[in-house]
Protein backbone atom coordinates (compact mmCIF):
# COMPACT_ATOMS: atom_id res chain seq x y z
CA UNK A 1 0.00 0.00 0.00
CA UNK A 2 2.79 2.24 0.96
CA UNK A 3 4.57 1.28 -2.23
CA UNK A 4 1.56 2.26 -4.30
CA UNK A 5 1.29 5.64 -2.48
CA UNK A 6 5.01 6.33 -3.05
CA UNK A 7 4.71 5.41 -6.70
CA UNK A 8 1.77 7.76 -7.13
CA UNK A 9 3.64 10.56 -5.37
CA UNK A 10 6.63 10.06 -7.62
CA UNK A 11 4.41 10.29 -10.72
CA UNK A 12 2.76 13.43 -9.42
CA UNK A 13 6.14 14.94 -8.60
CA UNK A 14 7.42 14.08 -12.06
CA UNK A 15 4.39 15.66 -13.69
CA UNK A 16 4.79 18.75 -11.54
CA UNK A 17 8.41 19.13 -12.52
CA UNK A 18 7.50 18.61 -16.19
CA UNK A 19 4.77 21.22 -15.95
CA UNK A 20 7.08 23.69 -14.23
CA UNK A 21 9.78 23.06 -16.82
CA UNK A 22 7.26 23.67 -19.58
CA UNK A 23 6.17 26.90 -17.96
CA UNK A 24 9.77 28.05 -17.60
CA UNK A 25 10.42 27.13 -21.22
CA UNK A 26 7.34 28.97 -22.40
CA UNK A 27 8.29 31.99 -20.32
CA UNK A 28 11.82 32.00 -21.75
CA UNK A 29 10.45 31.62 -25.29
CA UNK A 30 8.05 34.48 -24.70
CA UNK A 31 10.87 36.72 -23.57
CA UNK A 32 12.90 35.87 -26.68
CA UNK A 33 9.91 36.51 -28.97
CA UNK A 34 9.17 39.81 -27.26
CA UNK A 35 12.80 40.84 -27.49
CA UNK A 36 12.86 39.99 -31.20
CA UNK A 37 9.65 41.96 -31.79
CA UNK A 38 11.02 44.97 -29.94
CA UNK A 39 14.27 44.87 -31.97
CA UNK A 40 12.39 44.72 -35.27
CA UNK A 41 10.08 47.54 -34.21
CA UNK A 42 13.09 49.63 -33.22
CA UNK A 43 14.69 49.07 -36.62
CA UNK A 44 11.49 50.05 -38.41
CA UNK A 45 11.14 53.18 -36.28
CA UNK A 46 14.77 54.07 -36.97
CA UNK A 47 14.25 53.66 -40.72
CA UNK A 48 11.11 55.82 -40.55
CA UNK A 49 13.03 58.44 -38.57
CA UNK A 50 15.86 58.48 -41.12
CA UNK A 51 13.38 58.82 -44.00
CA UNK A 52 11.63 61.63 -42.14
CA UNK A 53 14.92 63.45 -41.62
CA UNK A 54 15.80 63.07 -45.32
CA UNK A 55 12.38 64.40 -46.37
CA UNK A 56 12.75 67.33 -43.97
CA UNK A 57 16.19 68.17 -45.38
CA UNK A 58 14.86 67.97 -48.95
CA UNK A 59 11.96 70.25 -48.03
CA UNK A 60 14.30 72.74 -46.38
CA UNK A 61 16.56 72.80 -49.45
CA UNK A 62 13.55 73.10 -51.74
CA UNK A 63 12.18 75.88 -49.58
CA UNK A 64 15.46 77.75 -49.76
CA UNK A 65 15.59 77.31 -53.53
CA UNK A 66 12.01 78.54 -54.02
CA UNK A 67 12.13 81.29 -51.45
CA UNK A 68 11.24 84.65 -52.92
CA UNK A 69 14.38 86.81 -52.84
CA UNK A 70 14.21 90.27 -51.40
CA UNK A 71 16.01 91.75 -54.44
CA UNK A 72 14.70 91.42 -57.97
CA UNK A 73 16.62 88.90 -60.04
CA UNK A 74 17.28 90.08 -63.60
CA UNK A 75 17.56 87.52 -66.39
CA UNK A 76 18.37 88.55 -69.94
CA UNK A 77 18.01 85.73 -72.42
CA UNK A 78 19.70 82.70 -70.87
CA UNK A 79 21.88 84.65 -68.44
CA UNK A 80 21.37 85.79 -64.89
CA UNK A 81 22.74 89.33 -64.78
CA UNK A 82 24.96 90.60 -62.00
CA UNK A 83 24.13 94.27 -61.54
CA UNK A 84 26.18 97.03 -59.98
CA UNK A 85 23.11 98.39 -58.20
CA UNK A 86 19.99 96.47 -57.25
CA UNK A 87 16.76 96.98 -59.16
CA UNK A 88 14.06 98.97 -57.38
CA UNK A 89 10.29 98.56 -57.52
CA UNK A 90 7.61 101.01 -56.39
CA UNK A 91 4.03 100.44 -55.19
CA UNK A 92 2.76 100.43 -58.79
CA UNK A 93 5.20 97.69 -59.87
CA UNK A 94 7.34 100.15 -61.80
CA UNK A 95 10.85 98.68 -61.88
CA UNK A 96 13.89 100.97 -61.92
CA UNK A 97 17.45 100.40 -63.10
CA UNK A 98 20.49 102.54 -62.36
CA UNK A 99 22.23 104.69 -64.95
CA UNK A 100 25.47 102.75 -64.44
CA UNK A 101 23.76 99.43 -65.13
CA UNK A 102 22.14 100.84 -68.28
CA UNK A 103 25.61 101.89 -69.41
CA UNK A 104 26.85 98.32 -68.92
CA UNK A 105 23.87 96.65 -70.57
CA UNK A 106 22.61 98.96 -73.30
CA UNK A 107 24.14 102.39 -73.75
CA UNK A 108 27.77 103.07 -72.92
CA UNK A 109 27.23 106.64 -74.16
CA UNK A 110 24.36 107.44 -71.77
CA UNK A 111 24.59 111.09 -70.73
CA UNK A 112 23.22 113.08 -67.79
CA UNK A 113 23.23 116.87 -67.55
CA UNK A 114 23.08 117.74 -63.87
CA UNK A 115 22.26 121.42 -64.42
CA UNK A 116 19.24 120.61 -66.58
CA UNK A 117 18.44 117.34 -64.70
CA UNK A 118 18.14 115.75 -68.12
CA UNK A 119 19.27 112.31 -69.26
CA UNK A 120 19.86 111.33 -72.88
CA UNK A 121 20.04 107.66 -73.79
CA UNK A 122 20.39 106.11 -77.26
CA UNK A 123 20.02 102.58 -78.54
CA UNK A 124 19.82 101.26 -82.08
CA UNK A 125 17.14 103.45 -83.75
CA UNK A 126 16.05 105.42 -80.70
CA UNK A 127 17.04 108.60 -78.87
CA UNK A 128 15.26 109.22 -75.57
CA UNK A 129 15.30 112.22 -73.30
CA UNK A 130 14.10 111.97 -69.69
CA UNK A 131 13.86 114.70 -67.08
CA UNK A 132 13.94 114.13 -63.32
CA UNK A 133 10.40 114.03 -61.90
CA UNK A 134 8.57 114.16 -65.25
CA UNK A 135 6.17 111.40 -66.33
CA UNK A 136 6.78 111.96 -70.04
CA UNK A 137 9.86 111.31 -72.14
CA UNK A 138 10.88 112.38 -75.61
CA UNK A 139 11.64 109.55 -78.06
CA UNK A 140 12.91 110.59 -81.50
CA UNK A 141 11.36 114.05 -80.97
CA UNK A 142 7.96 112.61 -79.98
CA UNK A 143 6.50 112.96 -76.49
CA UNK A 144 5.61 109.66 -74.83
CA UNK A 145 3.79 109.13 -71.51
CA UNK A 146 5.61 106.93 -68.98
CA UNK A 147 4.45 105.28 -65.74
CA UNK A 148 7.66 105.89 -63.80
CA UNK A 149 10.08 108.78 -63.82
CA UNK A 150 13.78 109.59 -63.76
CA UNK A 151 14.75 109.86 -60.09
CA UNK A 152 17.52 109.66 -57.50
CA UNK A 153 17.62 107.04 -54.73
CA UNK A 154 20.50 107.14 -52.24
CA UNK A 155 22.40 109.45 -54.62
CA UNK A 156 22.06 106.91 -57.45
CA UNK A 157 20.30 107.96 -60.65
CA UNK A 158 17.57 105.49 -61.64
CA UNK A 159 15.62 105.11 -64.89
CA UNK A 160 12.10 103.63 -65.21
CA UNK A 161 13.29 100.39 -66.81
CA UNK A 162 10.02 98.97 -68.16
CA UNK A 163 9.05 102.31 -69.72
CA UNK A 164 12.19 102.04 -71.84
CA UNK A 165 11.30 98.72 -73.49
CA UNK A 166 10.61 100.45 -76.82
CA UNK A 167 13.88 102.38 -76.56
CA UNK A 168 16.08 99.38 -75.73
CA UNK A 169 14.02 97.03 -77.93
CA UNK A 170 13.03 94.36 -75.43
CA UNK A 171 10.01 92.45 -74.20
CA UNK A 172 9.65 91.42 -70.58
CA UNK A 173 7.75 89.36 -68.04
CA UNK A 174 7.80 89.94 -64.30
CA UNK A 175 7.14 86.98 -62.01
CA UNK A 176 6.02 88.72 -58.85
CA UNK A 177 5.86 85.52 -56.78
CA UNK A 178 9.52 84.75 -57.47
CA UNK A 179 10.59 88.39 -57.85
CA UNK A 180 12.18 87.64 -61.22
CA UNK A 181 12.32 90.02 -64.19
CA UNK A 182 12.94 88.29 -67.52
CA UNK A 183 14.09 90.32 -70.53
CA UNK A 184 14.33 89.20 -74.16
CA UNK A 185 15.69 91.36 -76.98
CA UNK A 186 13.18 91.63 -79.82
CA UNK A 187 16.06 91.75 -82.30
CA UNK A 188 17.46 88.35 -81.24
CA UNK A 189 16.19 84.88 -82.16
CA UNK A 190 13.71 83.21 -79.80
CA UNK A 191 12.30 79.68 -79.72
CA UNK A 192 9.88 77.94 -77.40
CA UNK A 193 8.27 74.53 -76.83
CA UNK A 194 5.24 73.28 -74.94
CA UNK A 195 5.70 70.81 -72.07
CA UNK A 196 3.89 67.58 -73.08
CA UNK A 197 4.94 65.40 -70.11
CA UNK A 198 5.56 66.30 -66.48
CA UNK A 199 9.26 66.84 -66.03
CA UNK A 200 11.97 68.10 -63.75
CA UNK A 201 14.28 70.91 -64.77
CA UNK A 202 17.84 69.76 -64.05
CA UNK A 203 20.74 72.00 -63.17
CA UNK A 204 22.94 70.09 -65.63
CA UNK A 205 22.17 67.79 -68.59
CA UNK A 206 22.66 64.67 -66.45
CA UNK A 207 20.25 62.14 -64.96
CA UNK A 208 21.46 62.56 -61.39
CA UNK A 209 21.88 66.33 -61.51
CA UNK A 210 19.95 68.29 -58.88
CA UNK A 211 16.47 69.50 -59.81
CA UNK A 212 15.67 73.19 -60.01
CA UNK A 213 11.95 72.91 -60.60
CA UNK A 214 9.21 70.44 -61.49
CA UNK A 215 6.84 71.29 -64.32
CA UNK A 216 3.53 69.43 -64.38
CA UNK A 217 1.96 68.77 -67.75
CA UNK A 218 -0.69 71.38 -68.41
CA UNK A 219 -2.14 72.83 -71.57
CA UNK A 220 -0.29 75.93 -72.68
CA UNK A 221 2.78 75.60 -70.42
CA UNK A 222 5.70 76.80 -72.54
CA UNK A 223 9.41 77.02 -71.89
CA UNK A 224 11.90 79.15 -73.78
CA UNK A 225 14.42 76.99 -75.64
CA UNK A 226 18.13 77.76 -76.05
CA UNK A 227 19.45 74.59 -77.72
CA UNK A 228 20.04 70.88 -77.18
CA UNK A 229 22.81 68.85 -75.55
CA UNK A 230 22.50 65.13 -76.19
CA UNK A 231 19.12 63.93 -74.90
CA UNK A 232 18.52 67.20 -73.08
CA UNK A 233 17.24 70.64 -74.09
CA UNK A 234 18.36 73.83 -72.37
CA UNK A 235 15.31 75.84 -71.33
CA UNK A 236 14.13 78.78 -69.27
CA UNK A 237 10.91 78.48 -67.30
CA UNK A 238 8.38 81.14 -66.41
CA UNK A 239 9.82 81.10 -62.89
CA UNK A 240 13.19 82.15 -64.29
CA UNK A 241 14.97 78.86 -63.74
CA UNK A 242 17.49 78.05 -66.47
CA UNK A 243 18.34 74.38 -66.78
CA UNK A 244 17.82 71.19 -68.75
CA UNK A 245 14.89 68.87 -69.45
CA UNK A 246 14.69 65.62 -71.37
CA UNK A 247 13.92 66.53 -74.98
CA UNK A 248 11.17 63.90 -75.21
CA UNK A 249 9.23 65.79 -72.52
CA UNK A 250 8.75 68.72 -74.92
CA UNK A 251 6.65 69.22 -78.00
CA UNK A 252 7.95 70.51 -81.31
CA UNK A 253 10.21 73.57 -81.00
CA UNK A 254 8.54 76.69 -82.38
CA UNK A 255 10.57 79.61 -83.75
CA UNK A 256 9.07 82.81 -82.36
CA UNK A 257 11.42 85.07 -84.33
CA UNK A 258 14.68 85.01 -86.24
CA UNK A 259 17.83 87.01 -85.51
CA UNK A 260 17.69 90.53 -86.93
CA UNK A 261 21.34 91.37 -87.41
CA UNK A 262 22.35 94.97 -87.86
CA UNK A 263 23.16 95.70 -91.51
CA UNK A 264 26.46 97.53 -91.17
CA UNK A 265 28.62 98.68 -94.08
CA UNK A 266 31.66 96.47 -94.48
CA UNK A 267 33.13 96.27 -97.97
CA UNK A 268 33.06 99.88 -99.13
CA UNK A 269 34.62 101.48 -102.18
CA UNK A 270 34.76 105.29 -102.01
CA UNK A 271 34.86 106.78 -105.52
CA UNK A 272 36.81 110.00 -105.06
CA UNK A 273 37.34 110.64 -108.78
CA UNK A 274 33.70 111.14 -109.71
CA UNK A 275 32.46 114.54 -108.58
CA UNK A 276 29.36 116.31 -109.85
CA UNK A 277 31.32 118.74 -112.00
CA UNK A 278 33.74 116.13 -113.39
CA UNK A 279 33.26 113.78 -116.30
CA UNK A 280 31.68 110.58 -115.07
CA UNK A 281 30.50 108.95 -118.27
CA UNK A 282 32.78 105.92 -118.07
CA UNK A 283 33.09 103.98 -114.86
CA UNK A 284 34.36 100.53 -113.94
CA UNK A 285 33.02 99.21 -110.66
CA UNK A 286 33.47 96.21 -108.40
CA UNK A 287 29.96 94.84 -107.98
CA UNK A 288 30.99 92.81 -104.90
CA UNK A 289 31.36 95.92 -102.73
CA UNK A 290 29.27 98.96 -101.87
CA UNK A 291 30.33 101.74 -104.24
CA UNK A 292 29.85 105.22 -102.84
CA UNK A 293 30.36 108.79 -104.07
CA UNK A 294 30.53 111.57 -101.48
CA UNK A 295 29.64 114.91 -103.10
CA UNK A 296 29.45 117.99 -100.87
CA UNK A 297 25.75 118.83 -100.93
CA UNK A 298 25.07 120.58 -97.60
CA UNK A 299 26.75 123.03 -95.25
CA UNK A 300 25.85 124.10 -91.74
CA UNK A 301 26.38 127.84 -91.34
CA UNK A 302 27.12 129.86 -88.22
CA UNK A 303 23.39 130.27 -87.53
CA UNK A 304 22.97 126.49 -87.49
CA UNK A 305 21.04 126.59 -90.75
CA UNK A 306 21.41 123.85 -93.36
CA UNK A 307 22.35 125.36 -96.73
CA UNK A 308 22.41 123.65 -100.12
CA UNK A 309 25.88 123.77 -101.65
CA UNK A 310 24.34 122.89 -105.03
CA UNK A 311 20.82 123.21 -106.33
CA UNK A 312 19.49 119.69 -106.03
CA UNK A 313 16.71 120.43 -108.51
CA UNK A 314 19.18 121.49 -111.25
CA UNK A 315 19.82 119.42 -114.36
CA UNK A 316 23.45 119.09 -113.32
CA UNK A 317 22.60 117.29 -110.10
CA UNK A 318 19.70 115.33 -111.60
CA UNK A 319 21.99 113.94 -114.32
CA UNK A 320 24.54 113.01 -111.70
CA UNK A 321 21.91 111.28 -109.58
CA UNK A 322 20.65 109.38 -112.64
CA UNK A 323 24.20 108.26 -113.52
CA UNK A 324 24.76 107.01 -109.96
CA UNK A 325 21.50 105.07 -109.89
CA UNK A 326 22.15 103.50 -113.32
CA UNK A 327 25.56 102.25 -112.21
CA UNK A 328 24.43 101.05 -108.78
CA UNK A 329 26.39 103.80 -106.99
CA UNK A 330 25.20 105.17 -103.67
CA UNK A 331 25.18 108.94 -103.18
CA UNK A 332 26.37 109.84 -99.69
CA UNK A 333 25.76 113.55 -99.11
CA UNK A 334 28.76 115.25 -97.52
CA UNK A 335 27.83 117.76 -94.79
CA UNK A 336 30.39 120.42 -93.84
CA UNK A 337 30.44 122.97 -91.04
CA UNK A 338 31.20 126.68 -91.29
CA UNK A 339 30.47 127.56 -87.70
CA UNK A 340 31.78 126.15 -84.44
CA UNK A 341 30.98 122.92 -82.68
CA UNK A 342 30.43 124.93 -79.50
CA UNK A 343 27.21 126.41 -80.88
CA UNK A 344 25.93 122.99 -81.94
CA UNK A 345 26.77 121.41 -78.60
CA UNK A 346 25.30 124.12 -76.43
CA UNK A 347 22.39 121.86 -75.45
CA UNK A 348 20.41 118.80 -76.38
CA UNK A 349 17.78 121.13 -77.82
CA UNK A 350 20.22 122.81 -80.20
CA UNK A 351 21.62 119.47 -81.35
CA UNK A 352 18.13 118.06 -81.89
CA UNK A 353 17.03 121.10 -83.91
CA UNK A 354 20.00 120.72 -86.24
CA UNK A 355 19.51 116.95 -86.53
CA UNK A 356 15.86 117.50 -87.46
CA UNK A 357 16.84 120.02 -90.17
CA UNK A 358 19.30 117.56 -91.70
CA UNK A 359 16.85 114.68 -91.41
CA UNK A 360 14.14 116.63 -93.24
CA UNK A 361 16.56 117.61 -96.03
CA UNK A 362 17.62 114.02 -96.63
CA UNK A 363 14.07 112.69 -96.62
CA UNK A 364 12.85 115.44 -98.95
CA UNK A 365 15.67 114.80 -101.45
CA UNK A 366 15.58 110.99 -101.18
CA UNK A 367 19.23 110.72 -100.12
CA UNK A 368 19.81 107.75 -97.83
CA UNK A 369 23.43 108.28 -96.78
CA UNK A 370 24.99 111.12 -94.80
CA UNK A 371 28.69 111.84 -94.28
CA UNK A 372 29.63 114.10 -91.37
CA UNK A 373 32.69 116.04 -92.56
CA UNK A 374 33.51 118.69 -89.94
CA UNK A 375 36.97 120.28 -90.03
CA UNK A 376 36.65 122.61 -87.06
CA UNK A 377 36.03 120.15 -84.23
CA UNK A 378 36.93 122.30 -81.24
CA UNK A 379 34.80 120.20 -78.89
CA UNK A 380 35.40 116.49 -79.46
CA UNK A 381 33.00 115.30 -76.75
CA UNK A 382 30.35 117.58 -78.19
CA UNK A 383 31.05 116.13 -81.63
CA UNK A 384 30.57 112.60 -80.32
CA UNK A 385 27.28 113.61 -78.67
CA UNK A 386 26.06 115.09 -81.97
CA UNK A 387 26.92 111.93 -83.91
CA UNK A 388 25.53 109.65 -81.17
CA UNK A 389 22.18 111.44 -81.26
CA UNK A 390 22.03 111.82 -85.05
CA UNK A 391 22.73 108.18 -85.94
CA UNK A 392 19.54 106.60 -84.46
CA UNK A 393 17.33 109.18 -86.20
CA UNK A 394 18.77 108.22 -89.58
CA UNK A 395 18.76 104.50 -88.77
CA UNK A 396 15.05 104.80 -88.00
CA UNK A 397 14.32 105.19 -91.74
CA UNK A 398 17.10 102.90 -92.94
CA UNK A 399 19.65 105.60 -93.74
CA UNK A 400 23.40 105.07 -93.30
CA UNK A 401 25.68 107.38 -91.33
CA UNK A 402 29.34 107.83 -92.27
CA UNK A 403 31.99 110.07 -90.68
CA UNK A 404 35.22 111.37 -92.19
CA UNK A 405 37.98 110.67 -89.73
CA UNK A 406 39.92 113.71 -88.47
CA UNK A 407 43.00 113.95 -86.29
CA UNK A 408 42.14 113.91 -82.62
CA UNK A 409 39.09 111.66 -83.00
CA UNK A 410 38.81 108.13 -81.62
CA UNK A 411 38.29 105.93 -84.68
CA UNK A 412 37.38 102.85 -82.65
CA UNK A 413 34.75 104.78 -80.72
CA UNK A 414 33.28 106.20 -83.92
CA UNK A 415 33.07 102.75 -85.48
CA UNK A 416 30.83 101.64 -82.61
CA UNK A 417 28.49 104.56 -83.28
CA UNK A 418 28.20 104.97 -87.06
CA UNK A 419 27.97 102.64 -90.05
CA UNK A 420 31.35 103.48 -91.53
CA UNK A 421 34.38 105.70 -90.90
CA UNK A 422 36.10 107.16 -93.98
CA UNK A 423 39.83 107.59 -93.61
CA UNK A 424 41.32 110.22 -95.94
Q: Would you say the C-alpha torsion 398, 399, 404, 406 has a positive or negative sign?
A: negative
Percent of the chain with pLDDT over 70: 84
Exposed/middle/buried for residue 71 (C-beta within 10 Å: 0-12, 13-18, 19+): exposed
User: pLDDT at position 300, please?
Assistant: 94
Percent of the chain with pLDDT over 90: 65
Is 70 exceeded by the pLDDT of residue 314? yes
Is 70 exceeded by the pLDDT of residue 106? yes
CA distances from 111 to 114, 141, 371 (A): 10, 17, 24
Phi (first) and psi of residue 259, to 5 degrees: -65, 135
pLDDT-derived band at 48, boundaries 50, 70, 90: confident
- Which of 166-175, 275-284, 378-387 holds the top average pLDDT? 166-175
Q: Among candidates 201, 257, 258, 186, which has minimal Cα distance to 232?
A: 201
Q: What is the spatial distance between Cα 201 and Cα 214, in angstroms, rounded to a whole number?
A: 6
Query: Higher pLDDT residue, 17 or 303?
Result: 303
- Which of 24-38, 147-161, 282-296 holds the top average pLDDT? 147-161
Task: Give the pairing type, strands 136-139 and 126-131.
Answer: antiparallel
Q: Specify the 3-state DSSP secondary structure of 95.
A: strand
Mean pLDDT of 52-60: 57
User: pLDDT at position 52, please?
Assistant: 61
pLDDT-derived band at 417, boundaries 50, 70, 90: very high
Is 60 exceeded by the pLDDT of residue 248? yes
Mean pLDDT of 299-305: 91
Is 80 exceeded by the pLDDT of residue 2? no
User: pLDDT at position 220, please?
Assistant: 77
Is 70 exceeded by the pLDDT of residue 61? no
Q: Among candidates 104, 111, 102, 113, which has minimal Cα distance to 167?
A: 102
pLDDT-derived band at 342, boundaries 50, 70, 90: confident
Q: Among candidates 44, 101, 43, 49, which has minimal Cα distance to 71?
A: 101
Q: Considering the chain, what is the average pLDDT of its residues? A: 86
User: pLDDT at position 181, please?
Assistant: 97
H-helix or E-strand spanning residue 312: none
Q: What is the spatial distance between Cα 293 and Cα 320, in angstroms, rounded to a whole number?
A: 10
Residue 136 CB coordination number (10 Å): 13
User: pLDDT at position 24, please?
Assistant: 44
Amino acid sequence: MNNQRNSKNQVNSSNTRSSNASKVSQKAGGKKSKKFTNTRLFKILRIILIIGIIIAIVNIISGLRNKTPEDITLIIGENKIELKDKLLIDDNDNIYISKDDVANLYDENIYYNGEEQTLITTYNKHVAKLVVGQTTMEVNSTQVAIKGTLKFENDILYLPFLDLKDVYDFEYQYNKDRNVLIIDSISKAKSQAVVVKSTKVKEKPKMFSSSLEKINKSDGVYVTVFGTEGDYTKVRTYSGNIGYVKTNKLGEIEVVREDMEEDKLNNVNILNDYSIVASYDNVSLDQNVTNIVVPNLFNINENLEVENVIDLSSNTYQNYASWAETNGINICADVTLSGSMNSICASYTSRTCLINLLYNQFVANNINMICIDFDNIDDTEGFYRFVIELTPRFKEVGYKVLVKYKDGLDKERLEKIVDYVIEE
